[in-house]
Each structure stands twice: as structure tokens, then as C-alpha cells.
Amino acid sequence: MGHLTINTSAVFPDSEQLKAAGFLEGWLTAERIHQHFQNMVAFYETSNNENGPAQFQFLATQEVWLRHQMNSSDTQQSPFWAYIRLLMAQFDGLVQGSAGLCLQVTPDFSDIFVAQAAWFTYAAMVRIFKHYHFKLHDTSLPGTDLAYSSYPGQLSSDDDFYLVNPTHLAVLQTTNRLFNESLLDTIQPQAVLSWQRVRSALSAASSGKEWAQLVGLHNSGTYTNSWLVIDLKRFSPGRPLQHGLLTVVEQVPDAMFSADFTHILESGYFALYNVPALQPAYEALGYPAFLASQ
């Protein structure tokens, strides 16, 4: 895995910092982007995906809606939309220029471990671990230092594995199956895609509860995930675990669910393997009916 670190300067406005960061990443990793693109095109061509044109149209419609919303007078005071504007500046600059999770504490609560296994195709092994250090002036966006595993040409993780400072949040994700296909009818392009909502929540949130609220805004429903949000500010070695240390957030196409799971972690560890932890998400995605049919 390659490594990429980008630092910006507070001399420049936030939007210029992000656009320049995107441009620099695009320029530095152009060859890797091309290689990753060729690998993934070959992978998806062999999957006989007949919905490709419809998916491209969905994404095109979503981008038009997103850019209109982020520039609307109704969104100018929102930290969520403030970061969406910065994220799309980074995206524009970039264009120009499956998983298992485990969280464990030691028996004496002296240390905490976060781990993830990324289960994806070998074709996606052209990987980059990215570090962004933004000097933002907008005080409503405290998460300025971001580190995550990623791929060429992507501004999100997709694994997903994020570390954020100075808010000291660690965020991991595993993807769940959607067996209740009636939920597909609720998906519309007039929404914010998962990678965009996640990046905004990573920047604007200071706690697991805030992260859950932000990532649920304008839910696109296009990525049925379970997220673990670990607030490392609430961990003190050798002390009892504090409420809010572990928040589980789960998305289905028409809803978001979240709960504090710190009490589960007190028993030693908490793990997810592509099955929802929250009963409402488990039922909404159709797991009970699927199991009954087996």
C-alpha cells in the first residue's frame, strides 16, 4: 500500500485549500488512478452488470441536485453543507489535476484496539493510505486532520477505516445485505451519497452521537452499512469505559438507526461481520424473512 500526505496552509481560504489538495492528489497519483480504473473496469465488465447506464444516470442526476443544494441560500449556515462545499471543491480539484470489524479492550481497560479486515477483489489492490492536514478557518468543522485507507482517485475510504483529529474519532464500517428489495423503491438521486455524508460528518462531528446525526442527513440509502464510531476522548487507560465511547450507526434506504454500545464493549470486545447489530435495521433489511426461507 502506498502512502499520501497532503498539508494545506491557513494563508488561503478553506475552499482554495481543499481544491488545491484535490488537484495535488490528482497530479501525484494520476498513474495510479489510471491503473486502478483499468483494473476495476475489467472486474466489473466480467460481472455482467446490465444496470450500468441507469447507475451512471442516477449519479449524474444526484450531482446536479447536490451542487444546487450546496449553493442554495437555505444551506449556507449548516456545518454539514459547509463541508459538502469544501468536499466538492476537493473533488473538482481531483478531477482537474467488504469488510469485518473488531473493537477490543484489555481486561484491565489499559488499552483499546481497533481492527478491520477489508474483503474486496484482488483487482483493487492498488491502494493508498491517505493523510490530510487541513488548516480550516471554519470553526464549525473541527475534524481537520484525517487519515484513512483508500484507493487512487477516491476521496473516501470504501473499506471504510478513518481516524480523525483533533476530535479523536475512529470510524469503521461493514456492509450489510439488503434482502428486502421493496426498499429499493425509496432510493432517489435527490440525496447526498454515502461517501459525501461520511466525509462531512467526519469533519463536523465531535462525538459519536453527533456523527450519527450528521451522517443521517439526506440519506441516499445506496450503501446499507453498519458503522462503529469510537470516541477515543472517552477512553482513559485503567478507568471504567465512559458512556459514548462506542456508537453503532446503521443505514437502510429510508432510515438511520444508532445506539450506544459501550456497555457491550465492557465485556471485552465488540465485532460485526456484515450483519446488523440493531434490531430495527436487521428487520428492515429483511434478515428474518431471509433466514426463515433457508
pLDDT at 154: 92
Annotate the chain with DSSP letters as a single string: -EEEEEE--TTS-HHHHHHHHHHHHHHHTHHHHHHHHHHHHHHHHTTT-TTHHHHHHHHHHHHHHHHHHHTSGGGTT-HHHHHHHHHHHHHHHHHH--EEEEEEE-TTSS-EEEEEEE---GGG---EEEEEE-----TT----EEEEEE-TT-SS-SS-EEEEETTTEEEEEEE-----GGGGGG--SSSB-HHHHHHHHHHH-SSHHHHHHHHTTTB-----EEEEEEEGGG--TTSPPPTTSEEEEEEETTEEEEEE-HHHHTTSEEEESSS-SSHHHHHHTTHHHHHHH-
pLDDT at 141: 97
Question: What pLDDT digit, counting tens, does each position of 126-161 carry?
Answer: 889 999 999 999 999 999 999 999 999 999 998 889
Cross-strand partners of 236: none
pLDDT at 119: 62
pLDDT at 115: 77
pLDDT at 274: 87
The CATH label, of 3.60.60.30, 3.90.1150.10, 3.40.50.1980, 3.40.50.300, for the domain at 2-293 is 3.60.60.30
Per-residue confidence band for 49, with pLDDT thresholds at 50, 70 and 90:
low
Residue 257 in this model has a pLDDT that exceeds 90: yes
Question: What pLDDT digit, counting tens, does each position of 7-41 carry?
Answer: 999 999 999 999 999 999 999 998 898 888 888 88
pLDDT at 98: 45
Question: What pLDDT digit, counting tens, does each position of 163-211 carry?
Answer: 999 999 999 999 999 999 999 999 999 999 999 999 999 999 999 999 9
Please give the average per-residue pLDDT across 112-134, as a whole number.
Answer: 80
Please give the average per-residue pLDDT across 211-240, as a whole number.
Answer: 95
Which of the pair, 34 or 259, is modelled with greater confidence? 259
Per-residue confidence band for 48, with pLDDT thresholds at 50, 70 and 90:
low
pLDDT at 118: 65
Alpha-carbon distance 233 to 250, whole Å? 22
pLDDT at 171: 97
Which of the pair, 164 or 53, is modelled with greater confidence? 164
Question: What pLDDT digit, counting tens, does each position of 55-100 carry?
Answer: 889 999 999 999 999 999 989 999 999 999 999 999 999 988 845 5
> Where in the chain are the domains?
2-293
Minimal CA–CA distance to 148: which of 294, 254, 12, 4? 4
Residue 102 in this model has a pLDDT that exceeds 80: no
Mean pLDDT, the chain, whole residue set:
91
Which of the pair, 116 or 294, is modelled with greater confidence? 294
